[in-house]
Amino acid sequence: MTPVAAFERAMHYLDRAHASGFKVKAFAQAIETVRATPLDELERRNAAGTLKELPGIGDASARLIREALSGDEHPAYLAKLDAETALEVPDAARPYLEALRGDCHMHSRWSDGGATIEAMARTAMSLGHEYIVLTDHSPRLTIAHGLNRDRLVSQLDDVAVLNIDLAPFRILTGMEVDILEDGLLDLDDDLLERLDVVVASVHSKLKMDAPEMTARMMRAVASPHVDILGHCTGRMIDKRPPSKFDPDYVFAACAAYGTAVEINSRVERMDPPPELLDIAVQHGCMFTIDTDAHATGQLEWLVHGCTIAADGELPIDRILNTRSADDLLAWTQAA
């Protein structure tokens, strides 16, 4: 294992645990140093005992470099970190997790993610997925480096090449498209038609009055281009309250127009909350369980969404990403 690979794995474990604070900052700084330092220099410094003279390299990061350079494919420090950050799978959630065949919402370095498309795909493969849907942000979300027309077209070309290299694993093309204030979508129709899966989400004017927000969301889910309604309340637990809208109208529209309701597994979202999930189930909606991952470790967060689904007694056959990629695409194209 190379030092770079070892640090990437360490960051995966820390992201999986939604860790924050000094350790994460230290490892984030250390990995940049390791990436910028030639391997032969790391080897010389390791032999001389001067690794900690490099910027951002402390005791833990120096230990990880030493273990990686020793040729051990399973460094002891990584094994320790893996054990400390492993996610528990509740018994009730396990059947849901085992049924999932893909993940329909995630971000790469093309927008505000921290990993390459290939890294996200290979991590998903290692987790047993058959496919992912790449859903970087649309152009209006400039704070998240949303993709304009030219960048999206370029990304589609890159995905086509990666799909050849990674087959039979598949990267389905998609985007998390902003729902504008009037309910229209932040992407031209011709580009929407080229995407395999479109997730539509509200990211702005989240405090809009309930009647206006309801109309806004209903117009979006009625679009023939929209396949999934992302993180429907927009809440950030302990940081931002949920948006107000009439769930009966919105979820009835989702059911009528064939738009799935996302169960967003991000630790700070866990969206929809139980009371809204119950309403969506009663209206006969279809669902996806997605990570909304922005780093490889977060691809393991599906367990959180599966726990929400289990608590809500959601029928597994109403979860779209328990289907194969071909069957998922058949549904999106027919809906």
Q: Domains in the chain and their CATH numbers?
A: 3-83 (1.10.150), 94-334 (3.20.20.140)
Question: pLDDT band for position 334 (50/70/90)?
Answer: confident
pLDDT at 16 over 90: yes
Distance of CA 278 to the CA centre of its chain: 24
Reported as half-sphere exposure (CB side, CA atoms, 13 A), residue 182 has a value of 2
Report pLDDT digits (tens) over 45-54: 999 999 999 9
Mean of the pLDDT values across residues 164-176? 98
pLDDT at 335 over 80: no
pLDDT at 23: 85
* CA dist., res. 293 & res. 254, Å (int): 24
pLDDT at 171 over 80: yes
- Mean pLDDT of the residues in the chain: 96
Report pLDDT digits (tens) over 54-82: 999 999 999 999 999 998 888 999 999 99
pLDDT at 76: 94
Question: pLDDT band for position 20 (50/70/90)?
Answer: confident
Question: pLDDT band for position 31 (50/70/90)?
Answer: very high
Report pLDDT digits (tens) over 283-329: 999 999 999 999 999 999 999 999 999 999 999 999 999 999 999 99
pLDDT at 206 over 80: yes
pLDDT at 1 over 80: yes
Report pLDDT digits (tens) over 89-126: 999 999 999 999 999 999 999 999 999 999 999 999 99
pLDDT at 73: 82
Q: What percent of the chain has pLDDT over 90?
A: 95
3-state secondary structure the chain: CCHHHHHHHHHHHHHHCCCCCHHHHHHHHHHHHHHHCCHHHHHHHHHHCCHHHCCCCCHHHHHHHHHHHCCCCCCHHHHHHHHHHCCCCCCCCHHHHHHCCEECCECCCCCCCCCCHHHHHHHHHHCCCCEEEECCECCCCHHHCCCCHHHHHHHHHHHHHHHHHHCCCEEEEEEEEEECCCCCECCCHHHHHHCCEEEEECCCCCCCCHHHHHHHHHHHHCCCCCCEECCCCCCECCCECCCCCCHHHHHHHHHHHCCEEEEECCCCCCECCHHHHHHHHHCCCCEEEECCECCHHHHHHHHHHHHHHHHCCCCHHHEHHHCCHHHHHHHHHHC
